[in-house]
Chains A and B, each alone.
Chain A
Amino acid sequence: MPQKQIGNATIDVDADGFMTNLSQWTRDIAAALAKEEGIGELTAAHWKVLEYIQKEFKENGAVPTIRRINKTGLVSTKELYDLFPGGPAKKAEKIAGLAKPVGCV
């Protein structure tokens, strides 16, 4: 399994760079991954989304869709695309240390 060095930490990743072991995830790793993804500094609004999808994953074993995130009232679809330009679901999940999204919506 490929590994990746981020600062002093080593993380296990898949072929697309998604983390495969959530227990290795830290906020510093998230910040580094966000920079790599071209998101820049993570703001409070980013963290709100990242924490929500991690919570959903831990509770339901699946990450929420963009539609679901919009429906919770956490952030609107527009805001989500603004926060994570160039593919919000994929980028948010990557930064949150979760697997690549598998759904079509």
Chain B
Amino acid sequence: MPILTAGTKAPNFSLHVTPDQKLSLSELRGKPVVLAFYPADWSPICGDELSVFNEILPELRTYDAELVAISVDGAWCHDAFAKHKHLHFPLLSDFEPKGLTARAYGAYREADGVCERALFVLDKDGLITWSYCSPVAVNPGADGILKALEELPK
């Protein structure tokens, strides 16, 4: 299944954001949301990609947008990775049942057992307005996200 496209309602999810806390997409309703699925904590490309996203947080704030990143890694792994990279946005664990959320977005790589490198921008009502699936070896950068946020109705 290809990734969900603009005009689709973003499927809700409730995933661990820390070992003892969960975050649901519905809690972010009312704000634009950027969902960044990525294959793996600690891999070089994902590390670069998330470090760049980390640096655009001030700009995301000007759109009142929330960024959450999702991979199949466990919450403790996310915790160590986020500390190592000084990441200031939540990393969610699509860990059990593995890849359930990624599958709902069409962003799961069955053969590899990891998420695609896929980006989604949601409007404040939870509707997907832009999505992009990058070749897994190519880091997409943040230009597409910012352009999509810019195009949201004010």
Partners in one complex: no
Chain A residues in the interface with B (C-beta under 8 A) = none
